[in-house]
A and B are shown apart, each in its own frame.
Chain A
Amino acid sequence: MIQVVRVGTKIGTDVRGQSCFTEIRNLGIRSIIDVKTARVYRLEGIEPDDASELAENLFADQLTQSFTVNYPLIKNAARLIEVAYKPGVMNPEAASIMKAAHNLGIDLDAVDSSTEYGFFGTPPDEDIQFICDRLLVVSKTVERIVIEPPTSLIISGKRGPITIIPIRRMSDEELMGLSKKREWHLDLEEMQILQAHAREIGRDLTDGEGETYAQTWSEHCSHKTFRARLIVNGVEKKPLIARIKGTVEKFGEGVLSAFDDNAGVIDFFAGQGLCGKVETHNSPCALEPYGGAMTGTGGVLRDIFGDGQGAKPIASTDIFCFAPPDLDPEKLPAGCLSPHYLLRRVVAGVRDYGNRMGVPTNNGSVHFHEDFRAKPTVIVGAYGIIPVDKCQKGKPRPGDRIVVIGGRTGRDGIHGATFSSGEMTDQTAQVNASAVQIGNAIEEKRAGDAILRCRDEGLIRAITDCGAGGFSSAIGEMGSETGVHVTLERAPTKYPGMSPDEIWISESQERMILAAAEKDVPRVLEICCSLNVEATALGVFTNTGRLVVMYENETLCDLSMDFLHHGLPQRVLNANWVRPEFEEPGIPVPSDWRETCRQILSHLNVCSKEPIVRMYDHSVQGTNALAPFSGVDHDGPNDAVVLTPILGKNYGVIISHGLNPILNLIDPYWGSVWAAIEALANFVAVGGDPREARLIDNFIWPYPDEQELGALDRSVDACVDVAEAFRIPYISGKDSLSSTYRGKDGTVIKIPPVLCISVFGKIRDVRKTISADFKEKGSAIMQVGLRKPEMAGSVYYDLHGIVGNNLPKINLKETVKTFKKLHRLIARGAILSCHDISEGGLFTTLAEMCFGGGMGASLELGYAREEKERIDFRLFNETAGGFLVEVRDMDVFEIQSSGIPAEEIGRTIASEVISVHNRGHVFRADLDELKEAWQKPMKEVFH
């Protein structure tokens, strides 16, 4: 018998109902005049009396809420719609309710919670349907509209058998059919290798074995393109990954771990190391942005927990690329979600996961270009701290135990790895519904706490997270040099009835695998138990070199580790980039300067992203020494975040990033140089020493055909050239090469190639870092760094609908010199404030410094320049690697004569205006109106 408790608002505002009503109005629906909501709790195994007691003491707030038991709560609504999790989806609230009920002396057999919406007015069916699709069922993969109330909440099921795939006698056509049907995304050559292997060992493969190969050999897990032999315009070049790793071999000083663990580790202070890892989560977010962003954040944080012998996360970052939120719906390809919806839901996912984890999200950006409608780019980074003596994993030894800790295994997230390696089509949304899931941050938080305890007691030999490929990848990788024997039926599952191959490849979140000596296992289990974390010994490391997985004495897998990890031959790929030509007509100098300035500041790639940042808890852990925003009204943006991960000490870590997808469309070499220089400029602008910067690369590319592979080749060369110029290494990186959309009607849309460079590094004393807001009235404003009127790809050109060809070609040698000098000036206190010049140009940089400082500026651009230079190009050029700095008069001469490009261009003033002169008045604009234009776009999206 199920008792149903409904809880609704008695006093105060029904916030959920009101926000739903507002969204309905935003959708343009006028048939509904009010929305009321109720929480619904279904309780199994108790009598109505007990349900009343729980309603009173647990579910309803005595002051503000009313409740009913087995009786409707919302009365007289035109329509009642109940939204619940699908059966089998783990409702994170259920465990808490069971626990609290038990504390109150009532034991439940099962519980579920859902939300009921009452719509008032005269809504026609199609309005209700539209609301359900767009607002109520936010993640179709995990939620549903309740039509028939359930008769029991207890899930039962009978597991499927282990099946044999007759691969040995399949034709090529059948092989490809198999790959497609099972969503393996392996090509014919790879399927043939698998077939040949089966013939060689004289037996067919089990479903579990086939799945293990598909997961391990997926582009997502094995990065086949980056490891491939690359023929560029007929000439073989070093594999992409080898070029990037080469930077560590050359400039690896202070690097404790690079490219061979879950995250890279660099030396910090006080016996600690810093870890960095940046991931993408594009495919899941394209389908189900909220769940995708949550699992993306959860996944990259697990990379930190799973680094070395376990690290503590200290920061997370998020960088997104979307189509403009107001994209014409006609332009949206079939099967793709609206960018407005994607942006809001991705932000909500990062917010809800990161905040619950207690990890500050404090560096990020959002970029817009229409072609991201093909697939959004969602980049999530995580940083951590780890004792130096724990930053290397041990090698599992035969006899060591395999322990799974954290969440249970369910049917969710099956085929995430192979799915992420495929292109987006109009069918992707339907076919891959099971590949996305929702996260449970609290599960991960307590598992993380347990890991750090185990680490501190020296109980962890090796650890890794269960990400793409689930157990199959995590255990397969960890035991690759020894062999493993897994007793799979021991794995705790969310419900009965999962077949062995499902358990083996499920990507259920919040699970970690660790290797522990047999004698340490009891203590590991004890620690986990004391923190409410489930932990189970799943198997043992062997010395057989084989991956053996048993399920109730049946063999699911018996594979050679050697063939699994080395059986895939290196690919040979051709690359050939052809330079595209864009139009670059002349444009007039603005007639209405103030309007142009407002347009620049309200451009999506320039405008303030503060409403997003305010929803992330960026001050948790108490480590922020430079916040994302500061200044008189706390709304002036800074270039990077500075953290003090050891409370009470002034040791700092600086984190920044850079990217410019639009420039990559014109020339991926110079676009990528721009991205890396921008990331480093952000690092230096706040006080970082460029010699301490360490780099992380993320390539998010269209499907690599010859043209795109050629573009990738140029981008990687640029990455390496910048690293060589600064003599600093890459310590981690990742690629995702599937951001092309193919529609049934032949439509092909490629995203602009994204290279995101993340930078992190240490600084001994955070008191030597600076912010971007102007500090004093009457200071000198100086421009530092080389600038040329190279306008292609700029926001200014975009206002005219132009892309252009003449893109910024940054002089690396000069830039290195400038950065080093600027760093020394900041370190000795000569710079009051500093802000780098990027999208929106010098004018935007100046405006942002004024907003933060609550004061104006007067520019005189004519001092040192030739008259023929266009003032609009001067103000809006976006060459990276330049800065505006605020200095006292007495320091101007020193900076001017320091051998780097530096000139005084104006002064800070008390009146809140920006006035620009070029040997004569050009224009003058009020800060208020500029700030309003700059803040408006994101306020409108996140009202």
Chain B
Amino acid sequence: MRPNICILRTDGTNCDPETANAFLKAGGNPELVHINQLRSGTRRLRSYQILAIPGGFSYGDDVASGKILAIELISFLHDELQEFVDAGKLVIGICNGFQVLVQSGLLPLNTIRIRYATLEINDSGKFECRWIKLITEKGSPCVFTRGYDSEITLPVAHGEGSFLVNTRWPEIGENKNCVALRYSEGGQPADFYPANPNGSLYSIAGVCDPSGRIFGLMPHPERFVEFSQFDNWRRESIAKPHGLQMFENAVNFAVDL
């Protein structure tokens, strides 16, 4: 059976069609769901196995990126969301969706309303749209990044992606294996611009909760599920578009939910 994926959208969401396309290509059954449909009860989160919060500028990034949607999720939809997470279902937030998950407290430690991290304005002070390289963290419980053995490449496109953590991060975050993806160069974590495009601490590009089922990342895997989406497909041969595996991992995991 194809798992159902709720691609959550609201005012200013704009990466929803390509995110749906990526899940479709991975064998899932994505549906674009407006948050008003969840609020009015015409759609229920429990009907889905995966919740995906796509990129964009939810509510115009007003106050702080992802903030207004995060508040909507953890106030109005708190119980439904908690139930969804407790049921062991999957959550992915990409770019603005990652910001929403961090603002809500779901990432990095699955503590709704309690924050251990934040995503700040890029060190360059600018929006950055470019291709960068990433390595996955060995031993990470992350469901989405399974099977990525070598360095991969994905595009980033954001102005506020600098991952900043609470001073207690080394003891809580790293110990709980929250890091899933790091910006890299030559297979090693990169702490310099533009390989690390935003100045994230410890080159962190993506994190998961200790269960590995809630995952957020700044790069856009949904923009590299077709060969032609890669800017250098004419000069580098690629066995499989690098973003696709993340969606396949999610779909394969969710089939059993």
Query: Is A446 at the interface (CB under 8 A from chain B)?
Result: yes
Instruction: Please tell me if the beta carbons of B231 and A630 are within 8 angstroms of each other in the complex.
Output: yes
Q: Choose from A12, A19, A57, A96 the contact partner of B164 (Cβ within 8 Å).
A: A12
| Chain B residues whose CB sits within 8 angstroms of the CB of A624 once the complex forms | 229, 231
Which one, A244-252, A293-301, A614-622, A735-743, is touching chain B? A614-622
> B131 near A: Cβ within 8 Å?
yes
Contacts of A57 in B (CB 8 A): 71
Residue of B nearest to A531 (CB): B34
Q: Are A648 and B21 in contact (CB under 8 A)?
A: yes
- Say yes or no: is A239 at the interface (Cβ < 8 Å to chain B): no
Complex CA gap A630/B225 in Å reads 18
Contact present for B63 and A97 (CB under 8 Å): yes
Find B68's partner among A15, A96, A631 (CB 8 Å cutoff): A96
Determine if A222 is an interface residue (Cβ-Cβ < 8 Å). Answer: no
Interface size on B, residues (CB 8 A): 56
Q: When chains A and B are docked, how far (Å) is the Cα of A863 from the Cα of B226?
A: 44
- Write out, one digit per residue, whether chain A residues 741-778 have a CB within 8 A of any chain B CB (1) or not (0): 00000000000000000000000001100110101000
Contact A630 B228 (CB under 8 A): no
A644:B129 contact, CB within 8 angstroms? no
Interface string of A69-97 (1 = CB under 8 A from B): 00000000000000000000000110011
Instruction: Confirm or deny: B187 has a beta carbon within 8 angstroms of a beta carbon on chain A.
Output: no
Closest A residue to B42 by CB, please name it.
A530
A446–B75 Cα gap in the complex (Å)? 23
B240 at the interface (CB under 8 A from A): no
Q: Is B126 an interface residue (CB 8 A)?
A: yes
Closest to B131 in A: A634
Query: What chain A residues lie within 8 Å of B11 (beta carbons)?
Result: 442, 445-446, 531-532
In the complex, the answer to whether A442 meets B57 with C-beta atoms within 8 Å is yes
Q: Do B164 and A358 touch (CB < 8 A)?
A: no
Within the complex, the shortest CB–CB distance from B134 to chain A, in Å, comes to: 15
Closest to B40 in A: A530
Which of B67, B75, B220, B234 is A775 in contact with, Cβ under 8 Å?
Answer: B234
Interface string of A620-635 (1 = CB under 8 A from B): 1111110101111010
Q: A631, B120: Cβ atoms under 8 Å?
A: no
A530 — nearest CB in chain B belongs to which residue? Answer: B36
Complex Cα distance A614/B229, Å? 17
Residues in A50-68 with C-beta less than 8 Å from chain B: 57-59, 61-64
B139 in the interface (beta carbon within 8 A)? no
* Segment with Cβ contacts to B, from A99-107, A780-788, A796-804: A99-107
Does B129 contact A357, Cβ atoms closer than 8 Å? no
Most central of A104, A442, A614, A624 by chain B CB within 10 Å: A442
Contact with A along B154-198 (1 / 0, CB 8 A): 010100000011100000000000000000000000000000000
Complex contact A104–B126 (CB within 8 A)? no
Which of B25, B57, B232 has a CB less than 8 Å from the CB of A355? B57
Give A650 to B227 CA distance when docked, in angstroms: 10
On whether the beta carbons of B117 and A63 are closer than 8 Å, the reply is yes
Q: A104-B75, A617-B129, A617-B157 are in contact. Are A96 and B60 (CB under 8 A)?
A: yes
Whether B229 and A625, one on each chain, are in contact in the complex, defined by CB atoms closer than 8 angstroms, is: yes
Contact of B62 among A97, A631, A942 (CB under 8 A): A97
Residues from chain B with Cβ under 8 Å of A770 in the complex: 234
Verify if A356 is at the interface (C-beta below 8 Å from B): yes
A260 to chain B, nearest CB (A): 30
Separation of A91 and B2 alpha carbons in the complex (Å): 44
How many chain A residues touch B (CB < 8 A): the figure is: 66
Stretch at the interface among B12-20, B84-92, B206-214: B12-20
Given A96-B62, A355-B57, A621-B18, A614 and B128 touching (CB < 8 A)? Answer: yes
Q: Quick one: given A63-B164, A532-B36, A617-B127, are A103 and B71 in contact (CB under 8 Å)?
A: yes
Q: Is the CB–CB distance between B59 and A96 below 8 Å?
A: yes
Contact between chains at A357 and B232 (CB < 8 Å): no
Within A418-475, the residues touching B (CB, 8 Å) are 440-442, 445-446
How far is A61 from B166 in the complex, measured between Cα atoms in Å? 12
Which residues does chain B contribute within 8 Å of A650, judged by CB atoms?
228
Q: A647 at the A/B interface (Cβ < 8 Å)?
A: yes
Is A351 at the interface (CB under 8 A from chain B)? yes
Contact with B along A94-129 (1 / 0, CB 8 A): 001101100111000000000000000000000000
B75 to chain A, nearest CB (A): 4
Q: How far is the CA of A58 from the CA of B231 in the complex (A)?
A: 39
B121 touches A (CB below 8 Å): yes
B123 CB, nearest partner CB in chain A, Å: 8
| A615/B127 contact (C-beta < 8 A), A59-B63, A96-B62, A622-B222 known | yes
**Given contacts A358-B56, A650-B228, are A64 and B118 in contact (CB under 8 A)?**
yes
Smallest beta-carbon distance A41→chain B, Å: 9
The reply to whether A442 and B12 contact each other, CB–CB distance below 8 Å, is yes
B116 nearest CB neighbor, chain A only = A63
Within 8 Å CB of A96, what residues of B?
A: 59-60, 62-63, 68
Given A93-B62, A532-B36, A619-B155, does the pair A634, B231 have CB atoms closer than 8 Å? yes
Which residues in window 36-90 of B have CB below 8 A to A? Answer: 36-37, 55-57, 59-60, 62-64, 67-68, 71-72, 75-76
Asked if B220 and A99 sit within 8 Å, CB to CB, the answer is no
B168 CB → nearest A CB, Å:
11
In chain A, positions 640-656 with a C-beta closer than 8 Å to chain B are 644, 647-648, 650
Q: Is the CB of A647 within 8 A of B235?
A: no
Q: Report the minimum CB–CB distance from A808 to chain B (whole Å).
A: 30
State whether the Cβ of B223 lies closer than 8 Å to any Cβ in chain A.
yes
CB-defined contacts of B14 to chain A, threshold 8 Å:
356-358, 445, 620
Q: Which residue of B lies closest to A648 (CB)?
A: B21
Among the listed A13, A93, A356, A614, which residue makes an inter-chain contact with B63, where contact means beta carbons less than 8 Å apart? A93
Q: How far is the CA of A493 from the CA of B34 in the complex (A)?
A: 27
A99 pairs with B126, CB closer than 8 A: no
Contacts of B157 in A (CB 8 A): 355, 617, 619-620
| CB pair B67 A58 closer than 8 Å | yes
Q: Is the CB of B59 within 8 A of A442?
A: yes
CB–CB A442/B60 < 8 A: yes
- B128 engages A619 (CB within 8 Å): no
State in angstroms the CA–CA spacing of A357 and B14 once bound together: 7
Q: Which residues from B are CB-within-8-Å of A357? A: 14
Residue of A nearest to B59 (CB): A96
**A residues 579-631 touching B (CB-CB < 8 Å):** 613-625, 627, 629-631
Q: How far is the CA of A623 from the CA of B115 in the complex (A)?
A: 35
Q: Are B25 and A648 in contact (CB under 8 A)?
A: yes
Q: Is the CB of A620 within 8 A of B130?
A: no
Contacts of A100 in B (CB 8 A): 63, 67-68, 71-72
B147: Cβ under 8 A from any A Cβ: no
Neighbouring A residues of B115 by C-beta, 8 Å: 61-63
Task: Indicate if the CB atoms of A631 and B15 lie closer than 8 Å.
Answer: no
Residues of B within 8 A of A630 (CB): 231-232, 234-235
Collect the chain B residues with CB atoms within 8 Å of residue A771's CB: 234-235
> Which residues from A are CB-within-8-Å of B10?
532
Instruction: Collect the chain B residues with CB atoms within 8 Å of residue A623's CB.
Output: 229
A151–B72 Cα gap in the complex (Å)?
Answer: 30
Most chain B beta-carbon contacts within 10 A, residue among A440, A613, A621: A621
CB closest chain-B residue, reference A647: B21
Known contacts A441-B60, A531-B36, then 10 further A-B pairs from the complex at CB < 8 Å, ordered by chain A residue: A18-B125, A63-B116, A93-B62, A97-B63, A100-B67, A442-B60, A445-B14, A614-B127, A615-B128, A623-B229
The 27 listed contacts between A and B (C-beta, < 8 Å) are A12-B120, A15-B125, A62-B115, A92-B62, A97-B62, A97-B63, A100-B68, A355-B57, A357-B14, A358-B56, A531-B11, A531-B36, A614-B129, A614-B130, A618-B129, A619-B129, A620-B14, A622-B225, A627-B231, A630-B232, A631-B232, A634-B130, A634-B232, A648-B226, A650-B228, A771-B234, A771-B235
Instruction: Give 8 nearest A-B pairs by CB, closest first.
Output: A358-B14, A622-B18, A96-B62, A625-B228, A442-B60, A627-B231, A93-B62, A647-B21
B binding-site residues for A, Cβ under 8 Å: 10-12, 14-15, 17-18, 21, 25, 34, 36-37, 55-57, 59-60, 62-64, 67-68, 71-72, 75-76, 115-118, 120-121, 123, 125-131, 155, 157, 164-166, 220, 222-223, 225-226, 228-229, 231-232, 234-235
